[in-house]
Amino acid sequence: MGVVVLAFGTFDVFHIGHLNYLKQAKKIAGSGELVVIVARDENALKHSHKKLIHDEFERLEIIKNLKIVDHALLGEKNPFDILKKLKPKIIVLGYDQLNDITTLEKEITKLGLDTVIVRAKPYKHEEKKSSIIKRKLLNLN
């Protein structure tokens, strides 16, 4: 693998906001490789997802089939373990992902990586956000 750019997500009910995020990550990757890490069910349910519509293997299959994605993998139980394996040059986070960037930066430093964190720009976040879409789909008010 050349320069590795990582993007992370649960991607349950894949939507245009997700696609926009991954397009931004691919643009940042340039001639490098965009590797997308799909959250394990266990981790997704621990963080803010009350219910998943698709299991981790279905979500991974969707991401693997996107032309802009060079590689798609399931995450690790410890989300930081993937950093050790792939040694990314850039991590692209969604505009609303991982509020504690300090923890991520500390982990990158601890691993001795020279990784830059970039925050993607939102895409119609007032309507194209997973929690809003899922609430509409599940008719949860």
Domain boundaries, the chain: 4-138
pLDDT greater than 80 at residue 3: yes
pLDDT confidence of residue 41: 92
Q: Which of 104, 121, 117 is nearest to 22 (CA)?
A: 121
pLDDT grade, residue 9 (50/70/90)? very high
Q: What is the mean predicted confidence (pLDDT) over 54-79?
A: 95
What share of the chain has pLDDT > 90, as a percent?
63
Looking only at the bridges linking them, the beta strands covering 71-74 and 33-38 are: parallel
Instruction: Assign a CATH topology to domain 4-138.
Output: Rossmann fold (3.40.50)
Comparing 42 with 64, the larger pLDDT belongs to: 64
pLDDT digits (tens, 9 = 90+) for 70-102: 999 999 988 789 999 999 999 999 988 866 788
pLDDT confidence of residue 126: 59
DSSP state of 39: P
57: amino acid identity, one letter? F
Phi, psi of 83, deg, nearest 5: -65, -40
pLDDT confidence of residue 130: 53
Q: What is the mean predicted confidence (pLDDT) over 9-33?
A: 94
pLDDT confidence of residue 99: 62
